[in-house]
Amino acid sequence: MTSDDKAPRKITYREAVREAIREALQKDERVFLMGEDVGRYGGCFAVSKGLLAEFGPERIRDTPLSESGFVGAGIGAALGGMRPIVEVMTVNFSLLAADQIINNASLYLYMSGGQFNVPIVIRMATGGGRQLAAQHSRSLEGWYAHIPGIKVLSPATIEDARGMLWTALEDPDPVLIFENSGLYNMEGTLAPDAGPVDIDRAYVRREGKDLTILTHSASLFKSLDAAEILARQGIDVEVIDLRTLRPLDERTFLTSIARTHRALIVDEGWRSGGISAEIAARIMEGVFYELDAPVQRLCSVEAPMPYAKHMEDAVLPQTDKIVDLVRKMVGADG
Amino acid sequence: MTTQRKGKKKAATVDRDHALHLLHAMIRIRRLEEKCAELYSAMKIRGFLHLYDGEEAVAVGVLQALTPDDAVVATYREHAHALTRGVGAGSILAEMYGKQEGCSRGRGGSMHLFDGKTRFYGGNAIVGGGLPIAVGLALADKMQQKGRVTCCFFGEGAVAEGEFHESLNLAALWQLPVLFVCENNLYAMGTALKLEHAVQDIARKAASYDVASAAVDGMDVLAVEAAAKTAAEAIRSSGTPYFLECRTYRFRAHSMYDPELYREKVEVAEWKKRCPIANFIAKMKGVGILSDGDVAAIEAEVAQEIGEAVAFAEACTWEPLEDLTRFVYSERRER
C-alpha distances in angstroms, B148 versus A74, A82, A219? 18, 15, 48
Nearest to A214 by CA among A169, A275, A168, A160: A275
Q: Collapsing DSSP states into helix, strand and coil, what is residue B216?
A: strand
Please tell me whether residue A21 adopts helix, strand or coil conformation: helix
List phi, psi (to 5°) of A85.
-105, 115
How much is the CA Rg of chain A, to the nearest whole Å? Answer: 20
| Catalytic residue selected from A15, A19, A36, A136 | A136
Name the residue among B112, B123, B132 with its Cβ closest to that of A73.
B132
Q: Which residues of A touch B134 (CB under 8 A)?
A: 76
B239: contact with A, CB 8 A cutoff: no
* Residue B323: partners with Cβ closer than 8 Å, 6 or more residues away: none
pLDDT at B212 over 80: yes
pLDDT cut 90: percent of chain B above it: 92
The answer to whether the Cβ–Cβ distance between A75 and B144 falls below 8 Å is no
CB within 8 A of B139, min separation 6: which ones? A73, A76, A77, A80, A82, B174, B176
- Lowest-pLDDT range, B95-109, B158-172, B246-260? B246-260
| 3-state DSSP assignment of residue B157 | coil
Q: Is A58 a catalytic residue?
A: no
Q: How many CB pairs lie under 8 A apart between chains A and B?
A: 159
pLDDT one-digit tens code per residue, A101-151: 999 999 999 999 999 999 999 999 999 999 999 999 999 999 999 999 999
Give me the residue from A63, A68, A109 closest to B330, CB to CB: A109
Question: Considering only CB atoms, which residues of chain A are within 8 Å of chain B?
Answer: 32, 58, 63-64, 66, 68-82, 84, 99-100, 103-104, 108-117, 119, 148-149, 151, 170-173, 247
- Whether A136 sits among the annotated catalytic residues: the reply is yes
d(CA A244, CA A223): 17
B144 touches chain A (CB under 8 A): yes
Four-point Cα dihedral B317, B318, B322, B323, nearest 10: 90
Confidence band (pLDDT; 50, 70, 90) for A263?
very high
Cβ-Cβ contacts under 8 Å, A170 against chain B = 333-335
The Cα–Cα gap between B225 and B34 comes to: 24
Chain A touched by B160 (CB under 8 Å): no
Please say if the pLDDT value at position A60 is more than 80: yes
- Residue B334: pLDDT band by 50, 70, 90 thresholds? low
pLDDT tier at A1, thresholds 50, 70, 90: very low
Check residue A101 and report its DSSP letter. Answer: I
Q: Which of A15, A67, A87, A141 is catalytic?
A: A67
Helices (H), chain B: 16-41, 56-63, 79-85, 89-97, 130-143, 162-173, 193-196, 202-207, 221-238, 265-272, 276-286, 292-315
Min distance B257 CA to chain A CA atoms (Å): 23
Instruction: Check A77 against B140: CB less than 8 A apart.
Output: yes
pLDDT at position A3 over 70: no
Q: Which residues of B201-223 are buried (b: 16+ CB within 10 A; e: fewer)?
A: ebbebbeebebbbbbbbbbbbbb
**Range B78-87 burial, b when 16+ CB lie within 10 A, else e:** bbbbbbbbeb
B107 CB near a chain A CB, below 8 Å? yes
Say yes or no: B96 contacts chain A, CB-CB below 8 A. no
The answer to whether the CB of B173 falls within 8 A of the CB of B210 is: no
Strands B187-188 and A296-298 turn out to be unpaired
DSSP SS3 for B147: coil
The answer on pLDDT for A2 being more than 70 is: no
This complex has an ipTM of 0.94
Bridge partners, A215 (sequence order): A241
Looking at the whole model, is its pTM more than 0.90?
Answer: yes
Per-residue confidence (pLDDT) for residue B310, from 0 to 100: 98
The predicted structure's pLDDT at residue B2: 32
The arithmetic mean of pLDDT across residues B79-92, rounded, is 98
Q: Closest CB to B328: pick one of A69, A82, A110.
A: A110
Q: Which amino acid is at B37?
A: A
| B136/A115 touch (CB, cutoff 8 Å), yes or no | no
> Does the pLDDT value for residue B5 go beyond 50?
no
Q: Do B136 and A74 touch (CB under 8 A)?
A: yes
Strand order in the sheet with A211-215: A203-206, A237-241, A211-215, A263-266, A296-298
Measured on CA atoms in the order A242, A244, A250, A255, is the torsion positive or negative?
negative
- The pLDDT tens digits for B43-71 are 999 999 999 999 999 999 999 999 999 99
- pLDDT (tens digit, 9 = 90+) per residue, A168-208? 999 999 999 999 999 999 999 999 889 999 999 999 999 99
- Specify whether the CB–CB gap between B201 and B5 falls below 8 A: yes
Name which of B107, B139, B162 is nearest A76 (Cβ-Cβ): B139
